[in-house]
Amino acid sequence: MVDITRVRRESLRWSLLVALNKTRPYTASETLLLDVSRAIYPDTTPLELRRELDYLADRKMVELVEKTFWRLVC
């Protein structure tokens, strides 16, 4: 059986990685990333966004550059 929440999390993470890849070599603000996330899932919350960004950061895929700016790690 398909786990809808898992699919949503993984899809959101992938979308964030794609968005951060498009902004390279610059950083992307959480506001921009929240807008990208809400284009796909309109009910995305800032907490959900931060949780997924933290997940990606724990795996060394993205990094927090300043207080609310992120970039893709190559």
Cα separation of 45 and 61, whole Å? 21
Structural domain span for residue 27: 4-72
Residues whose CB falls within 8 Å of the CB of residue 27, separated by 6 or more in sequence, listed in order? 65, 66, 69, 70, 71
Q: For the domain that residue 30 is a member of, what is the CATH number?
A: 1.10.10
Structural domains counted in the chain: 1
Q: What pLDDT is attached to residue 66? A: 80
Q: What pLDDT is attached to residue 3? A: 92
Q: What pLDDT is attached to residue 74? A: 59
Q: Phi, psi (5° rounding) for residue 37?
A: -65, -40
Low-confidence stretches of the chain (pLDDT < 70) are: 74
Burial class (CB in 10 A: 0-12, 13-18, 19+), 12: buried
